[in-house]
Amino acid sequence: MIRRTALRALTTVAVASAVTLPLIEGARAVAPATAATGAAIKADDDNPFRWMELDGLRADFQFMCPAGHCVGFWSLVLTDDVAQQRFEGGKFFVYAPATGEFSFFLGTDIAVRTVGNARQVRLADTEFMRSHPRVEVRYGAPDQPGRARVVASATTLM
C-alpha cells in the first residue's frame, strides 16, 4: 500500500516535470493583462518547431493561465484537413519509430498519453521531439504501434 502510494506520488512528480520543462523551454511568460487583451506577440522568432519538416501538423502558439499566471507556449497540432478526417475505433498517440518510445499530448495543463479526438492532439514535449529524428502521431491501438495508422509526422532537419 505504501509502495503504491509512493509510486503514484513519484509518477505525478515525473509527469509534472515532463510537462513543465518543455513549457519553460519553449514558453515566454507574459503579463496577465497582455494575455487578457489578446495583444499580438511576435512569437514567430521563438517557434521551436521552425527547423522541423511537418506533415499533417502545424505549429500553434497559445496561452495557458494556470493559477492566474499566463504563459505563452508553442505546440504542434493537427492541420485542419487532417483533423477533419473521420477516425473511429482507436486512440491518437505520439510515437518515435526509430526507438519505439512514446511521448505525450498536452491536455489543458495535464500530460496524457492518448487522446480520442483529433482536436485534442497537442504536442508540447520539445525535448522528446529534439531527441528523436522522426516523431509520428498515430491512430489505433497504442499497444500495437506497428499496426496503427500514421496520421502526421515531424522530422528534425539536421
Q: Which residues does residue 71 pair with via DSSP β-bridges, in sequence order?
A: 29, 64
Q: What is the DSSP letter of 145?
A: G
Q: Which three cell numbers stand for residue 134?
A: 522522426
Task: Work out how many domains the chain is built from and give that number.
Answer: 1
What are 130-157's pLDDT values in tens digits? 899 999 999 999 999 999 999 999 998 7
* Residue 25: per-residue pLDDT: 44
Q: Which three cell numbers stand for residue 87?
A: 477516425
Contact 26, 74 (CB under 8 A): yes
- The whole-chain average pLDDT of the chain stands at 78
Could you give the CA distance from residue 23 to residue 72 in angstroms, rounded to a whole number? Answer: 9
Percent of the chain with pLDDT over 70: 71
User: Which structural domain range is residue 34 located in?
Assistant: 2-156
- Between 71 and 58, whose confidence is greater? 58
pLDDT band at residue 110 using 50, 70 and 90 as cut-offs: confident
* Residue 63: per-residue pLDDT: 85
The closest of 58, 105, 49 to 77, measured between CA atoms, is: 58
Q: Is the dihedral of CA 130, 11, 149, 79 positive or negative?
A: negative
Q: What is the pTM of this model?
A: 0.70
The SS3 of residue 13 is helix
Beta strands 71-78 and 134-140 are unpaired
Rounded to 5 degrees, what angle do the CA atoms 92, 124, 15 make?
A: 85
What are 18-31's pLDDT values in tens digits? 444 444 444 433 33
* Residue 21: per-residue pLDDT: 43
Percent of the chain with pLDDT over 90: 51
What are 65-108's pLDDT values in tens digits? 877 888 888 999 999 999 999 999 999 999 999 999 999 998 77
